[in-house]
Amino acid sequence: IVIVIIAVVLGLTLRQNRSEFESTFLSRCEKFNQYDCKKVWGAFQQAYVNKDPCKVPVEAYDPLIAAALFKPQCNRMMFWSKTKDVVHGFTEKRDCFVTLEDTLLGSVLDGLTWCGKEGSKDTFTNGCPGWSDCENNTVRSFWIRASAAFADVACGDVTAMLNGSINTPFNPTSIFASVEVPRFIASRVKNLNVVMVIQKNNISNCTDPSLKNLTQTLDTGITFSCKDVSESRIQECGAKPEIACGACW
């Protein structure tokens, strides 16, 4: 009897986990009109279900990207690296910029962990490999694929917030440096403007040598600019809608 009870409780917990993930996915998705969320969920699942969670290549998410196309938002696209909180603190309050996490797929999966298992058709949220446990893990491959798709549609003036409180604001191993910047093409992107977020104890700014690598990676024809902006100014601009987007920095 004890074993049966344990089995039932365990079974219910797993089922609940699975449906909880699916309902989070669907309810976040339904905030966006124009998408068939059931279809998007199906395309999402096929990427990792019934697979070893360390053997999900980036391309496994191609059908998902095709099902939930990113719309170009010229002059409003915002990229970031090691500045997630300050960027989203700002974009949450103002309409000036769109980040990956404001798009359908980015907002649906932001903060979530998921994976499949060989021989199972379920989605698990526990026991999934961490970001650097193996290269081709479910979550990491998704963010690389989604970031690539978001960068592919970048156009006009593009903005990126980098962190002035770390040694290498433009880090070659980051998604921004390794996946996004190489996909900006001069025929679509006019200028890349880096906003260097400066806190009290900043150790880098727009003169940082890592930005040299950035300008060297940029497709010829895309101009580059960089502005040191204090974190408090970014917060102020987020809080004051009367400041025009273009006057924030």
- Binding residues (CB under 6 A) for ligand AVW: these are 79-82, 84, 100, 131-132, 143, 147, 150, 174-176, 180
Question: In terms of CB distance, is 30 or 95 closer to ligand AVW?
Answer: 95
128 is catalytic: no
From 204, 209, 216, select the one nearest 83 (Cα to Cα). Answer: 204
155 is catalytic: yes
Q: How many CB atoms lie within 10 A of CB 79?
A: 25
Closest CB to ligand AVW belongs to which residue?
131
Question: In terms of CB distance, is 36 or 59 closer to ligand AVW?
Answer: 59
Q: How far is the CB of 97 from ligand AVW (least distance, A)?
A: 11
From 28, 27, 22, select the one nearest 44 (Cα to Cα). Answer: 22
* Euclidean distance between CA atoms 16 and 236, whole angstroms: 42
Beta strand ranges found along 89-171 (DSSP E)? 156-163
CA angle centred on 184, ends 180 and 187, rounded to 5°: 165
Question: In terms of CB distance, is 188 or 243 closer to ligand AVW?
Answer: 188
Q: How far is the CB of 8 from ligand AVW (least distance, A)?
A: 34
Buried b or exposed e, range 28-54, using 16+ CB within 10 angstroms: bbeeeeebebeebbebbbbbbbebbbe
Question: Annotated catalytic residue: which of 37, 96, 128, 155?
Answer: 155
Q: How far is the CB of 215 from ligand AVW (least distance, A)?
A: 17
Q: How far is the CB of 32 from ligand AVW (least distance, A)?
A: 18
CB 63 within 8 A of CB 47: yes
Give, in order, the Cα–Cα distances in Å from 10 to each of 16, 21, 145: 10, 17, 34
Question: In terms of CB distance, is 90 or 143 closer to ligand AVW?
Answer: 143
Q: Which residues carry out catalysis?
A: 74, 155
